[in-house]
Structure 1
Amino acid sequence: MDSAKIENETQRGRIRSALVEGLGFRFPKGTPEDEARKRLNRICDDLAYLSDEGIRRVVGALRTKGEGGSRCFWPDRATFLAYAELAESRPLEEAPGVASWFASAAGREAVAEDRLVAEFLFWEKKKKPPLLAGEKRAVAEQAAAFRSQARRARANKACGRPPVLDDQEFLVWYEDLERRATALVEAGRRGTAI
């Protein structure tokens, strides 16, 4: 068994243990055992990114969210995903399809127009691209503000001037986001996007 498969099984087991022990839900009578296992495995795999504290929060929030008249059946997968996102946002790099979007024409346009970081933040918050005119305008305005602050911070640093306000912290934060977003673009270009 390769190490990736072992890691996946370990994460799945960690989540399964927390969910089964913490929630104690069951599937409706007549649910085939293999179907129940597959559904629970998929939920566990979806939540594997959560820290122990994140999974504790999800379990706490879902204790009263069982389905059925007695509220004893497993909730839908979407319910788990929603509460997991509230408890601990999934890293954008792990979201399926994101890197391929960043590698598409829309991603290349974001790079060309120097709004990659602003789009990355929009995606991180909304888990979707900015498609509406108002969303695109807000991203463009945010990108312009970022460019201005980054330019000022870099110029002050290059000249040896002391940072203005929180420019140094901003620059570290901004360059980290820029690195992460660029890595998504590159992963998409190489065809290694998830």
Structure 2
Amino acid sequence: MTAGVETKRGRVRRLVLEPLAELGWIRPKGMKAGAHAEELVRLSDDLTYMSDLSLGALCDMLRSKAQGKARNEWPRRGTILHLAEVVQPRPVEEMPNLVSWFRSVEGPRADREGVLVREFLFFEKFKRPPLNDGDRRLIRDRTRDDEHLRLLVAEGRVPDEQDAAKLRWLDNAERRVRAIMEQDEGRAA
């Protein structure tokens, strides 16, 4: 590493771990020092996808989440990762098991049914496939709304900035999911 170049882990340490340690947070009771150090390294790796702004927001959210009798122990990694998802969801592309869904028969099926983009966005938000009729109805309803917006634009309606931003967001999601479906399994994740 070149002097002055911050690593991804270093960025997470600077923006989240060090500020919380400065509050006096200690390792959880019953956890050995080595295991706690390893958990913080794994946590750092888990959070590298987040922007600086999102890491700062996560740190602010965590400030009041210390655990233990004295409320000065680090929460477990799962608790922190849950809050991180609230602040900035992890991209589907970084989750090999979710990516494999779109490379299986399910991606082409969703594409044929016209719900590919909204199914991808559902995955990104909930980190799971649609499991029931309510999930599938939500995806179909949002797809129908998206198609209506595209139809209005195609008919000459000039979108306002909010509609234009939504269309850019949808186009970006479509590029992302199609790239996943076209990527060779051997080069995945």
Tell me the TM-score normalised to structure 1 length. 0.79
Number of aligned residues: 182
Correspondent of 2:18 among 1, 11, 21 = 21
Query: Could you tell me which residue of structure 1 aligns to residue 181 of structure 2?
Result: 185
Asked if the contact 1:26/1:72 (under 8 Å) is kept, the reply is yes
The higher relative CO (CA closer than 8 Å, separation ≥ 6) is in: 1
2:138 counterpart letter in structure 1 = A
Asked if the contact 2:28/2:75 (under 8 Å) is kept, the reply is no
Asked if the contact 1:97/1:193 (under 8 Å) is kept, the reply is no
Q: Deviations over 1:87-138 (max 9, x none)?
A: 2222232234221111122222101212111111212222221111111122
Post-superposition offset of 1:34: 2.8
In structure 2, C-alpha distance between the alignment counterparts of 1:17 and 1:170, rounded to whole Å:
34
Give SS of 2:144's match: helix
**Residues 12-161 of structure 1 aligned to structure 2 (within 5 Å):** 12-24=9-21, 25-28=25-28, 31-151=31-151, 153=153, 155-156=154-155
Post-superposition offset of 1:76: 0.8
- 1:163 partnered with 2:157: yes
Post-superposition offset of 1:30: 6.2
In structure 2, C-alpha distance between the alignment counterparts of 1:150 and 1:30, rounded to whole Å:
56
- Structure 1 regions of 5+ residues with no counterpart? 2-6, 157-161
In structure 2, C-alpha distance between the alignment counterparts of 1:142 and 1:17, rounded to whole Å:
39
In structure 1, C-alpha distance between the alignment counterparts of 2:47 and 2:129, rounded to whole Å:
23
RMSD: 2.7
Post-superposition offset of 1:53: 1.7
Asked if the contact 2:117/2:174 (under 8 Å) is kept, the reply is yes
Asked if the contact 1:119/1:139 (under 8 Å) is kept, the reply is yes
With over 3 angstroms needed to count, the CA separation of the structure-2 counterparts of 1:78 and 1:170, relative to structure 1, is closer
Give SS of 1:114's match: coil
In structure 2, C-alpha distance between the alignment counterparts of 1:119 and 1:67, rounded to whole Å:
37
- Structure 2 regions of 5+ residues with no counterpart? none
In structure 2, C-alpha distance between the alignment counterparts of 1:139 and 1:20, rounded to whole Å:
37
2:177 counterpart letter in structure 1 = A
